[in-house]
Chains A and B, each alone.
Chain A
C-alpha cells in the first residue's frame, strides 16, 4: 500500500469501528466456524453477560441460540467460488446488544436449489405457536435421523422456541448458482 492507500485503509478501519459501535455489535467474525471457535465465542459472550449481570435465563437463551446458529454454518454453509478459494462451513457471525434485545445474526453462502426447501421449513416454523413448535420438535427428534453431518434439523425449531420470536431471514443473490442466506434472531433482555 502506498501512503494514500494506507490512509484510506485506516480511515476505513475507523469507519468500520464506528459502524460497529452504531449497531452495538459486540462480536463479529468472518471465516470458518469450527468447534473451537464455537467454544471460544460462547464462553466470551457468557463471561461478558455475566459481568453485566444479565439475567440467568437471558444468558442461557443467548448461549442456546449462538450454539445452534454457529452449528448451522459449520454444517450447512456451502462453498463459494472455486474450492481452493473459499471453503464450505464458513460464514459471517455477529452478536449485537441493544437496550431491549440481543441479536444473533449469521450469513452464509447457500446453493440456490436448497432455497425452496429451506424457505418452506422456516415459513412452517414461523406459522407455529408455542405448542405447535413443541410438537414439531418432538416429532423431528423421534423421526428425524441425524444427517451424516450431525444436523438433526432441530436447530431452527429450538431457536424459535427459545426466543419466542419469528425467525427473520433473507436471501441475497450472489450468482446463478448461489445466494447469501441471512438469519437474525432476537433474545429479549427483559424476562
Chain B
C-alpha cells in the first residue's frame, strides 16, 4: 500500500502509515482547522489496510495535545483498529504520554475502556 507521511505542524500531527516498514504512528499536536477533512485520508487508508494487513500491527499514538474535535476522530481510528482485531489480525495500540501529563494518560485509559483491542500505556520523559 501507498505510504502516508504527513509532516506535523503546530496544529496538525505527524502521521506515518507505512505497511512495509511496519510503522504506524500519529504524534504531536492535533487541532486542525477542519478535523474531518484532515483525518479522512487516514481513515480511508486504514479501511483499505484492513484487507491486506500485516500479521501484526503496532499502532503508536504519541500526542502531546488534541482538541475535543480531534478526540472523536482518534476514536474513529481506534475503532478501525478494533475491527481489524475482531477480524483476527493481531493489533496492539501503544499510547505514549509524557510522564507528568495525567490528562493524556487518562485519555489513553478512556480510549482503552471504549475499544476492545490490546492497549498498552507507555510513559516517557520529555
- Identify the A interface with B (CB < 8 A): 35, 38-39, 43, 56-57, 60, 63-64, 67-68, 71, 134, 137-138, 141-142, 144, 146, 150-152, 154-155, 157-158, 162
- Residue pair A150, B35 in contact (C-beta under 8 Å): yes
B71 and A141 contacting across the interface, CB-CB below 8 Å: yes
Q: Is B103 an interface residue (CB 8 A)?
A: yes
Residues 58-78 of B, flagged 1 when their CB comes within 8 A of A and 0 if not, give 000000010111011001000
Nearest CB of chain B from residue A139's CB, rounded to whole Å: 9
Q: Is the CB of A39 within 8 A of B35?
A: no
Prevailing SS type, chain A contact patch: helix
Shortest beta-carbon distance, A42 to chain B, in Å? 9
Kindly identify which residue among A43, A60, A68, A154 contacts B10, using a CB–CB cutoff of 8 Å.
A43
Q: Give every chain A residue within 8 A of B103 (Cβ-Cβ).
A: 60, 64, 162
**A144, B110: Cα distance in complex, Å:** 16
Q: How far is the CB of B19 from chain A (nearest CB, A)?
A: 28
Question: Which residues 13-48 in B have Cβ within 8 Å of A in the complex?
Answer: 31, 33-36
The answer to whether B114 touches A142 (Cβ under 8 A) is yes
CB of B101 closer than 8 Å to a CB of A: yes
- B33 to A158, Cβ gap below 8 A? no
Task: With a 10 A CB-CB cut-off, give which of A38, A137, A141, A144 has the most chain B CB atoms.
Answer: A141
Interface residue? B113 (CB, 8 A): yes
B69 to A134, Cβ gap below 8 A? Answer: no
Interface of chain B, helix or strand or loop or mixed? helix
| Chain B interface bracket (under 10, 10 to 19, 20 to 34, 35 or more) | 20 to 34
Q: Which of A43, A60, A138, A146 contacts B35 (CB 8 A)?
A: A146
Which residue of A is nearest B68, CB measured? Answer: A154
User: Is the beta-carbon distance between A150 and B69 smaller than 8 angstroms?
Assistant: yes
When chains A and B are docked, how far (Å) is the Cα of A134 from the Cα of B10?
A: 27
Chain B 84-126 interface 0/1 with A at a Cβ cutoff of 8 Å (1 = within): 0000000000000000111100100010011000000000000
B63 → chain A closest CB, angstroms: 12
Given A56-B100, A60-B101, residue A39 in contact with residue B10 (CB < 8 A): yes
Closest Cβ of chain B to A145, distance in Å, is: 8
| Min CB–CB distance B99 → chain A (angstroms) | 12
Q: Which residues of B contact A150 (CB under 8 A)?
A: 34-36, 69
A155 to B33 CA separation, bound complex (whole angstroms): 15
CB distance from A73 to the nearest CB of B (A): 14
* B116 vs chain A, min Cβ distance (A): 13
| Contact assessment for B33 and A141 in the assembled complex, using a CB-CB cutoff below 8 Å | no
Q: Min CB distance, B12 to chain A, in Å?
A: 11
User: A160 vs B96: C-alpha distance in the bound complex, in angstroms?
Assistant: 24
